[in-house]
């Protein structure tokens, strides 16, 4: 690992912790040259990557970074820790890979993200839903907020374009 401050490759691991689901390892490191401390994450690289089938019919490799960016956007200025977002991204990936195999649609990803966000932070859930479902009218926000008042098991899932 290169130090983000001085780019030295000599460091020592201060602390290692496994994520709750055991998929990633968080390591705190200290640069031996400048003493800067930084965090790295390790995960198993799978030989078979998920393919995302997009709205226009094309496909692309699944990107954990894109998922994290959308989670960060939805949770901006919300009381959700960055480590929690990484755990969510890992959980979503593992669930998708287990249930859907190699190919997954953007709808399956979007609905899975919304289910996780709904349990974590309702404001973040509404933000993500508005981006994912492309809300254009205030009534769409109100309708989604009213759905939050119902118990989760009575929630009906609406796929865009269906």
Domains identified in the chain, total number: 2
Average pLDDT (129-143) is: 83
Both 38 and 51 in one domain: the answer is no
Helices within 9-137 (DSSP H only): 64-74, 82-100, 106-120, 122-132
Both 10 and 56 in one domain: the answer is no
In a domain, 65, yes or no: yes
For residue 30, what pLDDT is reported?
96
pLDDT band at 140 (very low <50, low <70, confident <90, very high): confident
Write out the residue range of the structural domain in which residue 90 sits: 47-154
Average pLDDT (20-46) is: 86
Both 27 and 82 in one domain: the answer is no
For residue 57, what pLDDT is reported?
83
pLDDT in tens, 55-105: 888 888 888 889 999 999 999 999 999 989 999 998 998 888 888 778 888
Both 124 and 101 in one domain: the answer is yes
In a domain, 161, yes or no: no
Q: What is the DSSP string of 71-103?
A: HHHHTTTSS--HHHHHHHHHHHHHHHHHHHTTE
Both 2 and 27 in one domain: the answer is yes
Both 82 and 146 in one domain: the answer is yes
In a domain, 3, yes or no: yes
Both 61 and 140 in one domain: the answer is yes
Both 134 and 54 in one domain: the answer is yes
Both 107 and 141 in one domain: the answer is yes
Q: Residue 109 in contact with residue 92, Cβ under 8 Å? A: yes
Both 61 and 116 in one domain: the answer is yes
């Amino acid at each position: 690992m290169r130090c983000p401050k001085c780019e030295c490759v000599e460091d020592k691991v201060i602390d290692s912790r496994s994520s709750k689901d055991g998929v990633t390892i968080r390591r705190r490191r200290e640069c031996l040259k400048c003493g800067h401390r930084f965090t790295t994450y390790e995960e198993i690289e799978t030989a078979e990557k998920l393919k995302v089938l997009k709205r226009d019919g094309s496909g692309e490799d699944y990107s954990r970074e894109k998922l994290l960016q959308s989670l960060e956007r939805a949770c901006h200025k919300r009381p959700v820790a960055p480590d929690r977002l990484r755990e969510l991204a890992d959980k979503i990936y593992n669930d998708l890979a287990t249930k859907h195999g190699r190919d997954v649609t953007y709808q399956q990803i979007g609905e899975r993200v919304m289910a996780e966000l709904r349990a974590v932070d309702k404001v973040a859930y509404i933000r993500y839903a508005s981006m994912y479902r492309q809300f254009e009218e205030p009534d769409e926000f109100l309708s989604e907020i009213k759905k939050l008042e119902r118990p989760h098991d009575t929630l009906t899932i609406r796929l865009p374009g269906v």
